[in-house]
Structure 1
Amino acid sequence: MHNHTQRHHWLLIALGLMLALLAWSGVRPYDRATWWMEIAPILIAVPVMLLSYRRFPLSSLLYVLIFWHAVVLMVGGAYSYARVPLGFEIAQLLGLHRNPYDKIGHFFQGLVPALVAREILLRGGFVQGRKMVVFLAICVVMAISATYELIEWGAALAMGQGADEFLGTQGDPWDTQSDMFFALLGSVAALLTLTRLQDRQIAAMGGKTPPPKQREA
């Protein structure tokens, strides 16, 4: 009970901090329309998590990762991805010709949904077996990534040049493909490095995890 109360306390603090950062990002964004489009996932995910918290609380690992994903989105929305200062520093450090901050966003777009899908599949008892769980989690990630690219395409058609800040292609003709590749990298990284921690937290919550012989390495 004490651990549950403590976790609830920290989640409320994280929620308050996220709302404060969201307000900061929206004070004077570089482009207001871009800001709305970039923070839209937060406006959808937070209410869903609040409404489902009592019935289906997520693991602490997921809440932490979702928080940092939201930070990435809010910073990208405030500056527009092609103008985030951190991205320029990374570009200078690695000798890149473009601001790579958007790739961080797409990496998280793979990392977080992969673990969300995995947790839902396991705790709901929808899938048994390591290989199928991994396969379906990656499929979910790629479906989300492809849908996001279609949304960008629709925005480009609807807004014309006004969508440039949202698209953030920076003249890269392979931007769509590289975005999806970074989402794939994020999902693979998550499934290779974080599944044991996630399994322990799911087990502590009374959920199902893969059988020992099928557990991820």
Structure 2
Amino acid sequence: MPRSHKIVYTLYIVVWVIMAINPKYREDWLLENILVFIVFPLVVWMDHKHRYTLTSIIFLLIFASLHSLGSHFTYAEMEYFDTITQFFGFERNHFDRVVHFLFGLLVFRILFEMTTAGITHIKKALFFVFILIIAVSALYEILEWLAMIVFHPELGIAFMGTQGDIWDGHKDTVAAMIGASVNLFFYKSYKKLFRSKV
């Protein structure tokens, strides 16, 4: 594994450890990090095996670091986003919506590298990853709801972060879809990356 990748992984671990110290709601933090415990080691192992690009690793770990921030404060109560909320006069804290958008924007590239090896056409590969982002985002919303019901129903709003919006899950999925859509404007870059993988 390249040294640059190891540095990025180390930086993420430092961020994760800092965000694990005295989170606002310990049970919420634990639920938010279940996927981190599974996905992070898997990504490191797959990167060691398949050598993903540094750009993909950086994008993924920027998103993961923001997720750590959200799990520390909870997405609904991320206090450092309050200034933006007040400036624009929003009725709710939109930090969760921004992170869902960044999921689509930043995770797209590494999913492209991970999942398109057997696809022979660039447009099909991009469409597949676009649909995959939407599916993963929607699945996350369902798993989030199930985890809250099964493990800690008393967390309610803190974990789900709906902030009174019954369409919160739908809007989060749309935010991820918009983020993924931005990647399609970089068609030439992905085409070059695709050719290097074929």
TM over 0.5: yes
Give 1:160 shift. Answer: 2.2
Give 1:39 shift. Answer: 2.5
Give 1:200 shift. Answer: 4.2
- Say if 2:197 is the partner of 1:207: yes
What residue number does 1:76 align with?
Answer: 70
Which of 17, 27, 31 matches 2:21?
Answer: 27
Give 2:123's aligned amino acid.
Answer: K
Give 2:158's aligned amino acid.
Answer: E
What residue number does 1:215 align with?
Answer: none
Counterparts of 2:114 and 2:16, CA distance in 1: 27
- Which has the higher mean CA deviation after the structures are superposed, 14-23 or 37-46? 37-46
Identity of aligned residues (%): 23
Report matched runs for 1:48-67 at 5 Å. Answer: 48-67=42-61
- Say if 2:156 is the partner of 1:163: yes
Give 1:164 shift. Answer: 2.0
What residue number does 2:136 align with?
Answer: 144
What residue number does 2:110 align with?
Answer: 116
Give 1:198 shift. Answer: 4.5
Which of 181, 184, 188 matches 2:177?
Answer: 184
Q: If the length of structure 1 is used for normalisation, what is the TM-score?
A: 0.82
Against the structure 1 CA distance between its residues 155 and 46, is the aligned structure 2 distance closer, same or farther, given a 3 Å change threshold?
closer
Aligned-residue CA RMSD in angstroms?
2.0
Is the 1:25–1:78 Cα contact (8 Å) retained in structure 2?
A: yes
Q: If the length of structure 2 is used for normalisation, what is the TM-score?
A: 0.89
Local SS of the residue matching 2:156: helix
Counterparts of 2:153 and 2:36, CA distance in 1: 25
Gapped runs of 5+ residues in structure 2? none
CA-to-aligned-CA distance 1:151-184 (integer Å, 9 cap, x gap): 1221332232323211100111110110110010
Count of residue correspondences: 197
Which of 6, 10, 13 matches 1:12?
Answer: 6
Against the structure 1 CA distance between its residues 51 and 121, is the aligned structure 2 distance closer, same or farther, given a 3 Å change threshold?
closer
Is the 2:122–2:191 Cα contact (8 Å) retained in structure 1?
A: no
Against the structure 1 CA distance between its residues 202 and 57, is the aligned structure 2 distance closer, same or farther, given a 3 Å change threshold?
farther
Counterparts of 1:154 and 1:121, CA distance in 2: 27
Give 1:113 shift. Answer: 3.6
Counterparts of 2:15 and 2:111, CA distance in 1: 26
Is the 1:98–1:170 Cα contact (8 Å) retained in structure 2?
A: yes
- Say if 2:108 is the partner of 1:94: no
CA-to-aligned-CA distance 1:121-151 (integer Å, 9 cap, x gap): 44x1x22233322221111111101111111
Local SS of the residue matching 1:162: coil
